[in-house]
Structure 1
Amino acid sequence: MKLTHLGHACLLVETPGARLLIDPGVLSDFAHVRDLDAVLVTHQHADHVDVARLGALLQANPGAVLVVDADTRPAVDGLAATVVVATPGDRLTFGGSTVDVLGDLHAAVYADVPGCTNAAYLVDDGALLHPGDSFVLPGREVDVLAVAIDGPWLKLAEAVEYVRAVGPRVAVPIHEGETTDPAKYAGMLAAFSPEGVVRRLVSGEATAL
């Protein structure tokens, strides 16, 4: 598998059987991506789905299926010929790859701030887990975990605890588009995680994992 971090929570996932783009949001650079089998959105927040640019992306990738959580569905009406609403427990197939839908809700932001649906995506039986804005536990082994390191809904200690709870071979820091020093946050995650697990991706470069 190859991963390309396109900013904030957006990952281009290239498996032996498919090209998947997850969370093309307003803080991400994804307009150039082509030959996609699917575009997957974890939840409705703009840093995870840029509705204004999503239509052009789908036009440039006519074979791509758009997958969204339930609360995002109304916002993308008419943008794609095929829209799949991701429901926890679903198993989706794109090319030669599978995506299991996990989770339910966005992590609590603060007190009684309303939540929204959040679909976590598990690719190829645990090759990669992109949890969106959640700390969903997959209940199985995960090779590569994308883990948020900044946001109004988390403390860095929670990110460390999440890495330890999932126990991946590699943890890839994401969700750092609004911080002024992402390297510092990634470094702190690495310092408190098991040795050698955290690997920061170079933005825009495909990395084999």
Structure 2
Amino acid sequence: MDITHLGHACVLVETPRARLLIDPGTLSSGFADLTNLDAVLVTHEHADHVDASVVVTLLRQNPRATLVVDEKTAAQFSQQALRIARPGDVLDLGERVEVLGGIHAPVWGDVPGCPNLAYLVGDGELFHPGDSFTLPGRDIATLAVPIDGPWLKLSEAVDYVRAVAPATYLPIHEGELTDVGKYVGMLASLSMI
């Protein structure tokens, strides 16, 4: 499996069976001209995870691609064919994708959360939690771990890596940081995997 980080929360996953794009949002780049996609998966409705206008164009370029979203995000795509996913679903998108998750991590106090899907690709080769600390409940080869956002602090990312104990991890959700290297370095030194 090849995993390419396209900035912030966006990753391109390529296996011998499928090309999957996860979370093509406004803080990511390099995905607008992709072709031969089997699916575009979105974890939740926030613009940094889904740039709806660009995704519509992307789907025109990839007419066989399935758009996978939660029920709230679906409202952004009224004219597109899509698949509404829920935690517990197992999708065949050329590659097996298990849907986990539930609700976006709390931002603060009683600010309401939104649906947040987490995607487990293959047999644990990649786990992308979106904006959550959802535990996959099994061995993970690569964990996409958020390192910044209004809903987290770095110590929570460290705790998350330690709890999941993946073989390796990919720092994501760094699009608003001014010193990404500092956060990546601190995560590496404190996670000790």
TM-score after normalising by structure 1: 0.90
The runs of at least 4 consecutive aligned structure 1 residues that moved more than 6 Å come to: none
Distance in 1, Cα, partners of 2:71 & 2:174? 25
Question: Where do residues 1-209 of structure 1 align in structure 2 (5 Å cutoff)?
Answer: 1-29=1-29, 30-78=31-79, 80-81=80-81, 83-95=82-94, 97-194=95-192, 197=193
Kept in 2, the 8 Å contact 1:10–1:23? The answer is yes
Q: Whole-Å Cα distance in 2 between the matches of residues 147 and 77 of structure 1?
A: 31
- Aligned alpha-carbon RMSD (Å): 0.8
Q: Contact 1:105–1:117 at 8 Å: present in 2 too?
A: yes
Please list the CA deviations of residues 93-144 of structure 1 after superposition, one character each: whole Å capped at 9, or x if unmatched. 012x100000100000000111000000000121100000000001111110
| Distance across 2 between alignment mates of 1:170 and 1:16 | 21
Q: Which has the higher contact order (CA 8 A, sep 6+)?
A: 1
Q: Number of residue pairs matched?
A: 192
Which segments of 5 or more consecutive residues in structure 2 lack a partner in the other structure?
A: none
Cα distance in structure 2, aligned partners of 1:116 and 1:52: 21
Does structure 2 retain, via aligned residues, the 8 Å contact 1:147–1:173?
yes
Contact 1:12 1:19 in 2 (8 A): yes
How far apart are 1:17 and its partner, in Å? Answer: 1.0
Note the alpha carbon deviations across 1:156-205, whole angstroms, 9 max, x for none: 000000000001001100000011111111111001012xx4xxxxxxxx
In structure 1, what is the Cα distance between the partners aligned to 2:181 and 2:72?
Answer: 32
